[in-house]
Amino acid sequence: MSKYAENYSLPELMAATVAREIRDGELAFIGVGMPLMAATVAKFTTAPNFNMMVEYGAAGPSPRRLPMCVNCAVNCERAYYTGSQREVMGAQQAGFVDVACISGAQIDRFGNLNSSVIGEYKNPKVRLAGSGGANDLASSANRTIIMMRQDGRNFVEKLDYLTSPGYLDGPGARERAGLHGGGPVAVVTTMGVYRFDAETCEMYLEKIHPGVELEKVKAAVKWDLAVSPNLEVTEPPTEEQVMIMRTLDPLAVYLGTGRATLTGDFEAFMKMFENSYQPMVDLMKSKGL
């Protein structure tokens, strides 16, 4: 078993934590960015037999480098099946997706997400990207994992707009709304890991990241946050997990500030993908994938 890494970044900790949420043998709907990094880590460590489904239209891909966007053809590499976006979205709406990873700009105590607007919908302070496939996944996946930053402004008492459903207004609400999916099971943030109470459907703090103070976590939540009586410290990433992430993303484009650093340097951006290819080929061979 790989030892825990002593040197790792907060995004790497988050990605490793989400990777541990993916179970072997599952079908997971994964988006580009940090969720894809988490899924790749899971594939090469704790869940070698799980399969990804991506919005581009592929099921079971095992790419040897990161895709540049949702519609990148790399998302189809070594896939069991390649089709259309309509087909994979239809499959997840039919209940075939075990777990999905989504995000948002705001979240409330029941795990509902806003990724549409900050402020009034018709006259917002900020207009965001919108749902994409997040509403479908939140509604239909057997369970969802939420990844997001926590900055003191986005864990709110009331969303400015409900884009993707969590447990709506509490117990039984998803069923009354006709949602087939099971709802969120974990929220992984820059401060800790949250779960949902089985009876109240409200979020509570299960784990706190190393070096984070509990009072700071509570101050970053706009409601009276419940804390597990058995509060744990988040498990660090292993050396192997960090190695995989840094092989794929050495410039921290997906797991850091690399996008800002690389602005205008397209050749360096493409070189990063090229340099990761052979090490990933070797790693796949060593894992028998």
pTM of structure: 0.91
Active site residues: 55
| Residue 65 pLDDT | 79
Tokens at 284, concatenated: 């796949």
Q: What is the CATH number of the domain that holds 80?
A: 3.40.1080.10
In a domain, 159, yes or no: yes
Helices (H) and strands (E) in the chain, counts: 9, 14
In a domain, 221, yes or no: yes
Q: What is the span of the domain harbouring residue 155?
A: 10-238
Ramachandran quadrant class, 272 (left: phi over 0; alpha: psi -120 to 50; beta: rest): alpha
* pLDDT tens for the chain, residues 1 to 289: 579 999 999 999 999 999 999 999 999 998 777 888 899 899 989 999 999 998 888 888 887 777 777 778 888 888 888 888 889 989 888 989 999 999 999 999 999 999 999 999 999 999 998 888 899 999 999 999 999 999 989 999 999 999 999 999 999 999 999 999 999 999 999 999 999 999 999 999 999 999 999 999 999 999 999 999 999 999 999 999 999 999 888 888 888 766 666 676 778 878 887 888 788 888 878 877 7
- Tallying the residues shown for the chain, one arrives at 289
In a domain, 135, yes or no: yes
DSSP of 95-160: T--SEEEE--SEE-TT--EE-SEEE-SSSEEEE----TTHHHHHHHSSEEEEE----SSSB-SS-S
Count of CA atoms in the C-beta half-sphere (13 A) of 216: 11
In a domain, 245, yes or no: no
Instruction: Calculate the CA 212 to chain-centre distance.
Output: 21
Number of domains in the chain: 1
Which residues does residue 264 pair with via DSSP β-bridges, in sequence order? none
In a domain, 286, yes or no: no
In a domain, 252, yes or no: no
CA–CA separation, 186 and 111 (whole Å):
9
Which residues does residue 226 pair with via DSSP β-bridges, in sequence order? 204
In a domain, 279, yes or no: no
Using CA atoms, how far residue 199 sits from 60, 110, 170, 194, 258, in Å, is 35, 12, 9, 15, 42
- Residues 6 or more apart from 87 whose CB is under 8 A from it? 57
- Residues 6 or more apart from 277 whose CB is under 8 A from it? 64, 65
> Are the C-beta atoms of residues 4 and 238 closer than 8 Å to each other?
yes
| Residue 132 pLDDT | 84
